[in-house]
Amino acid sequence: MSNINIDNVLNALKVVIDPDLYKDIVSLGFVKDINIENKNISFKIELTTPACPVRDQFKMAATKAIRDTFPDVGDIQIEMTSSVRRAPQLNLNNILTNVKNTIAVASGKGGVGKSTVAVNLAVALAQDGAKVGLIDSDIYGPSIPLMMGINASPKLIKNKLIPLEAHGVKVMSIGFLVDPNQAVIWRGPMASGVLRQFMTDVDWGDLDYLIFDLPPGTGDIQLTLVQTIPLSGAVIVTTPQDISLADARKGYAMFEKVNVPILGIIENMSYFICSHCGEREEIFSYGGGRKEAQELGAVFLGEIPIDTKIRIGGDVGVPIVAQDKNSPQSTAIKNIARNMVAQLSINAMNGVKSKRVEVNFNN
């Protein structure tokens, strides 16, 4: 075909299929602003998230489709852009109206590295160009200030707290507001009230993703969250051993009961690579997270190895994805973050909804 015009360019690009949505990029409305000068073509591909895991594949496939269709084409310029879709849900309480997606990072038990995962996911998304916020929802044991390297107090402007920022992520934690050497000894309603205030009395601005680092288990904080806003989705963090997987199932069941879409399961501390001999050791067994995801019918988002650098990053306030961006550990986390928001995009395009709920867990 030698007649290079907009209609023919669009027809050529229909062979580029989104692997998650099973539709072509033209039908999905991703192709924007086609411009043709002589035999040179330029256009934009607007994805549903800057963290799209297949953005490079889209660009290569689109370039090939144009060249295959128009052998005498000149220069091809493709600008990859993004516009994060808002989760298809009703915000019944008019809360967080400028936040497009809310994500809970949860675990059935403590000690699985959930906060480390939440911090690194948030920073990874920010590195990809997304506007990201992070709420430390563990009121009794806030760890996010240390992990993000923040030692300050938020300002109050026009009766709104201004979240602190590190590594491109806006952050709020009770750890910014209380003496770090003092224990938070509050009953459940007080702790739940603080979480509500983090949603209603903090000026988050415009965010693509607001991540909630939940405390372990299925208690008051989790219930407060799902009763206050309609979560866009939740991810479950587990380790490979059976005791962790058993508790992960409980967390999964809780979110199912309150109609929160499960974005997937992450296996942390999946394996260890010896720095001396390079041999792989599966300290906590291996593959349990993937197997559990298959049995539950959930997406397995990926696995993260045990590594000293990850622990050091949390201790010094520089998460591994910021400290060593090109390491295998960072690459694994970035891929998980991209897979996670890809599930959000799939839900948004397919109209999968969550809603604020009233739940009595005693029933």
pLDDT in tens, 123-174: 999 999 999 999 998 887 789 999 999 999 999 999 999 999 999 999 999 8
Q: pLDDT for 195-208, tens place per residue?
A: 889 999 999 999 99
Is 226 part of any domain? yes
Whether 135 and 243 map to the same domain: the answer is yes
Q: Is the same domain home to 75 and 113? A: no
Same domain assignment for residues 337 and 277? yes
If asked whether residues 162 and 67 sit together in one domain, one would say no
Q: Which domain holds residue 60?
A: 6-82
Q: Which residues contact 185 (CB under 8 A, 6 or more apart)?
A: none
Mean pLDDT over 212-219 rounds to 82
Q: Return the higher-pLDDT residue of 178 and 237.
A: 237
Over residues 232-280, the pLDDT tens digits come to: 999 999 888 777 777 788 888 888 888 899 999 999 887 766 666 766 6
251 membership: H or E segment, kind and range: helix 242-257
pLDDT of 135: 96
Does residue 155 sit in the same domain as residue 15?
Answer: no
Cβ–Cβ < 8 Å for 118, 103: no
Residue 361 resides in a domain = no
Q: Is residue 136 assigned to a domain?
A: yes
- Work out how many domains the chain is built from and give that number: 2
Same domain, 57 and 109: no
pLDDT at res. 162: 96
66 pLDDT tier (thresholds 50, 70, 90): very high
Residue 50 belongs to domain with CATH number: 3.30.300.130
Residues 298 and 337 both lie in one domain: yes
Do 291 and 329 fall within a single domain? yes
Of residues 9 and 259, which shows the higher confidence score?
Answer: 9
Torsion over CA: 312, 314, 318, 322 (sign):
positive
Residue 241 and residue 353 in contact, taking contact as beta carbons nearer than 8 Å: no
Mean pLDDT score, 51-65: 93
Q: Look up the pTM and report it.
A: 0.89
Candidates 28, 193, 170; CA nearest to 99 is 170
pLDDT at 173: 93
Confidence of residue 333 (pLDDT cuts 50, 70, 90): very high
- pLDDT at res. 354: 56
Q: Please state, as a whole number, how many other Cβ atoms lie within 10 Å of the Cβ of residue 78.
A: 16
